[in-house]
Amino acid sequence: MKIIYCWDCDNESMFRVFHMFVRKYIRKTFSCAWSTLVKPLWLANDIWLQLQVYWASEGFQQESSKNKANRAANPTASFTVYRGGSPSVGMYKRKLEAELGRPPKQMEVFERCYKKKEDGNWSRPRGAEETFQKLMEDHRPQPMASHTPNQRHRWR
């Protein structure tokens, strides 16, 4: 039985979800192909040969070794862990707004959700600190002479 799915071409969220699943599928397929050296059925032979040459190249091998060493050194250091428990980030945002008497800044909500309650340290120091610093840079005031809008706020 063949099933056909259709959706409105203007429904951008549907395309976003579709592309997310396709990216995940392709990433998993190529990862499996790289580790087993078995060509996916749908992949053209000339592309497969190019991939094998790329995977055997010195640059790829060095990058792969470096990434493998980084993962082995501290497997959980590169991401943050949500420390908020069951409540959502939105719930913490509303609680902060009630506490502060004003809408909280994105960095304040981030700190509340990703810092340990006991000692105020980051749950995963490296990843959380990097993410926090990026948020701080994104929200730093721009000089008045600059007319380039912040990418994050351009389409709101």
**What CA–CA distance (Å, rounded) separates 124 from 130?**
10
**What CA–CA distance (Å, rounded) separates 126 from 140?**
21
Residue type, 48: W
**What CA–CA distance (Å, rounded) separates 64 from 52?**
14
**What CA–CA distance (Å, rounded) separates 106 from 34?**
40
Q: Count the neighbouring beta carbons within 10 Å of the beta carbon of residue 104.
A: 19
Contact between 135 and 110 (Cβ < 8 Å):
yes
Contact between 111 and 132 (Cβ < 8 Å):
yes
Per-residue pLDDT of the chain (156 residues; tens, 9 = 90+): 777 777 676 777 888 888 899 999 999 999 899 889 899 998 999 999 999 999 999 999 999 898 888 777 765 555 555 555 667 778 888 888 999 999 988 878 877 777 766 676 666 655 666 666 776 676 665 555 555 555 555 444
